[in-house]
Amino acid sequence: MALSLFIRRPAVQDQATWTPPGTIVVQRYRNIVGPAEGAVVLVYTADSDRRSAYFAAACLGCTYRAASTDRLSRLTEKVAANLANAHAADCRAMNCGIPAAPDDTEAAQMVGSRLWGLRPHRTTSPHYVHLTDFHVDRVDLQRDDDFINQTMVQLTQSEPHFLTSQPNSSGTGTQFLVQPHPPRN
């Protein structure tokens, strides 16, 4: 049996053109690591209307992720671009390629972890979940809004003490609410 000298390798996606599923990449910055090509830092959104969208920044070479300046202040495109550019200037991570997409079970666990982090601690009011709450996870999650919504529907059925749903006040769609921790006796 002879081996071919010209073995076709699977196409490898380039960080310079890759867009995580469920996002719209609007800017890319590349860090420079000496003579080597460094990692790409993405500025992206999951919102189709860029004028009212919130943005995030993520480095594809390290663990840097940013979707807000604090718990309440979402990023505008300009602020996300400034954060991405500053990170690219300081980051020394090498180009690691495109992150591996998690399987559905791992992705669902990521959604659950994000929701758990949103769980109110010092209040009896629930936290209204918005898809923008998942912006920071989009590069690692690599899933669209439908997957996130379906995962939340499943959680409302399996863990109703943790996540509930109700009709959206606009009359269309569903609003999800992360329930606060139960009071201590």
- Which pLDDT value is given to residue 12? 53
Residue 84 has pLDDT above 90, yes or no: yes
Cα separation, 129 vs 152, whole angstroms: 10
- Which pLDDT value is given to residue 10? 44
CB-hemisphere CA count at 13 Å for 181? Answer: 11
Residue 89 has pLDDT above 70, yes or no: yes
Confidence band (pLDDT; 50, 70, 90) for 181?
confident
Are 117 and 163 within 8 A, CB to CB?
A: no
Q: What is the pTM of this model?
A: 0.82
Are 44 and 23 within 8 A, CB to CB?
A: yes
Residue spans per domain, the chain:
24-90, 104-178
DSSP tag of 82: H
Q: What is the mean pLDDT of the chain?
A: 86
CA distances for 56 relative to 1, 13, 112, 175, angstroms: 52, 21, 20, 23
Question: Of 26, 3, 1, 30, which is closest to residue 14 (Cα–Cα)?
Answer: 30
Work out the average pLDDT over 159-177. Answer: 90
- Which pLDDT value is given to residue 131? 87
- Which pLDDT value is given to residue 5? 52
Residue 157 has pLDDT above 50, yes or no: yes
Cα separation, 153 vs 155, whole angstroms: 5
Please write the tens of the pLDDT for every residue from 108-148: 999 999 999 999 877 889 999 988 889 889 999 999 999 99
